[in-house]
Amino acid sequence: MTRNEEALDIKHTNYRNIYRLFFQYNGLSKPQIVKLLNLSLPTVSNNIGELEAEGKIREGGFFQPQGGRPAIAYQLVENAFISIGVEIQKKNVRCLALNLQGNILAQKDTALYFENEPQYIESLCNIIHTFIRSLGCLYTQILGIGFSIQGIVSKDGQSMLYSRVLPGEHFDVKELQPYFDVPVKLFHDVKCAALTELWFSEQIDNAVYISISEHLGGAIIINNQIDLGKKGYSGALEHLQIHSEGNLCYCGQRGCLETYCSLSALLSPNETIEAFFKALRNKDELVLMRWDAFLEHLAKGLNTVYLLLERDIILGGEIAFYLIPEDLKILQEKILKLSTFPLEGDFIRIATQQKYTSAIGAALPFLIEYLP
Ligand SMILES: [Zn+2]
């Protein structure tokens, strides 16, 4: 590194470190930054000037230190940049905007039937443009658009590797990118939901995230990251075979966990999840039996998962909202009966994030990439 490059590098590091502080503190004065980062006042002043000119921070009141002169307080401009998440569902498109602090600025659901046609892509992109216009921001403020899809996506987020639920060879970044001047990426909906859980709960470092909604899916969290495996197939617990001659799965195989432990498997046609859990909590005998069988199958699947990975299991998806601690107790007891090793303590919990998790998780990667 030449001396010039070295100076530039230090300058860049100072800029990033100062910008980063605004994500941690509500308001900061120049003297406070001088103290926190052990930098000179001229260095701090230069960087504050730069950040303010770029619209990344703004003046926000005064600090009155004891006995000292009041100092201007600067604050992060939280909406300086925005990340967009779009969740593709069978009958619906959900658009959501996150600001730099990860707060939801806007959310909108629009009815649109998924179709494997170029016409669908066009309608979808129109919906997204309308949503972005409604935010009243500039396109230069958009960090990127992430699509959460019910299918496994290539590691680089460019194409769909596998989806029998929403089959679509048109669903590819190559088809979507021409409609937008900002980066576009695809993500697997379950991994999006797991990322949202990871982002909002600080104490996860290793876990297995299982989403139980209309379909079942899994994601593995290793060292605070969503594991994608070699190509992107990692964590596909939905096709874990628990009965060799079992129910036929949409993948073509028999006995997959999906065919016993998804909501499609649990609920009868026309039965809602609300109705099911209401009857369950009222101790309806038939519903109790169905629930017990569901947990029995889930325990079989989770026993294998725990045997392989030995880490906490987080239950997410639509079902999470209805679960109570008693359900987890029964499930853990069932796993204990199957387990080879003695298991101590609780190892299953309910996801803390239960709303818009896939759409949020599709927006988060752009935000994470941007953060200083
Ligand atoms: Zn399957």
Sequence ranges of the domains in the chain? 3-76, 82-194+357-370, 203-350
Q: Are 198 and 224 in contact (CB under 8 A)?
A: yes
Computed over every residue of the chain, the mean pLDDT equals 93
* CA 225 to ligand 1 centroid distance, Å: 25
Give me the residues of the chain with pLDDT under 50, please: none
Angle between helices 41-53 and 30-37 (to 10 degrees): 120
Nearest to 298, CA basis, from 332, 249, 340: 332
The CATH class, in words, for 203-350 is alpha beta
pLDDT tens-digit map of 139-154:
999 999 999 999 899 9
* CA 111 to ligand 1 centroid distance, Å: 28
* CA 38 to ligand 1 centroid distance, Å: 57
Chain centre distance of CA 228: 14
Q: What kind of fold does domain 82-194+357-370 have according to CATH?
A: Nucleotidyltransferase; domain 5 (3.30.420)
Residue 161: the pLDDT is 87
* CA 127 to ligand 1 centroid distance, Å: 33
Residues 6+ apart with CB under 8 A from 320: 212, 350, 351, 354
Residue with tokens 């987080």: 314
pLDDT tens-digit map of 176-206:
999 999 999 999 999 999 999 999 987 888 9
* CA 247 to ligand 1 centroid distance, Å: 9
Residue 24: the pLDDT is 92
Which residue type does 361 have?
A: G
Residue 256: the pLDDT is 97
* CA 301 to ligand 1 centroid distance, Å: 13
* CA 187 to ligand 1 centroid distance, Å: 20
Residues 6+ apart with CB under 8 A from 283: none
* CA 152 to ligand 1 centroid distance, Å: 13
**What architecture is the 3-76 domain classified under in CATH?**
Orthogonal Bundle (1.10)
* CA 40 to ligand 1 centroid distance, Å: 61
Domains 82-194+357-370 and 203-350 share a fold: yes
pLDDT tens-digit map of 234-262:
999 999 999 999 999 999 999 999 999 99
* CA 160 to ligand 1 centroid distance, Å: 17
* CA 116 to ligand 1 centroid distance, Å: 22
DSSP secondary structure string for all residues of 314-345: EEESGGGGG--HHHHHHHHHHHHHH-SS---S
* CA 333 to ligand 1 centroid distance, Å: 26
* CA 221 to ligand 1 centroid distance, Å: 22
* CA 266 to ligand 1 centroid distance, Å: 16
Q: Are 50 and 372 in contact (CB under 8 A)?
A: no
Alpha-carbon distance of 116 to 291, in angstroms, equals 36
Residue 164: the pLDDT is 76
Residue 260: both structure tokens together: 């016993």
Residue 226: the pLDDT is 93
Residue 105: the pLDDT is 97
Alpha-carbon distance of 208 to 210, in angstroms, equals 6
* CA 264 to ligand 1 centroid distance, Å: 13
Nearest to 281, CA basis, from 294, 271, 296, 291: 291
Residues forming beta bridges with residue 153, ordered by sequence position: 160
Q: Are 60 and 27 in contact (CB under 8 A)?
A: yes
Residue 204: both structure tokens together: 């996860």
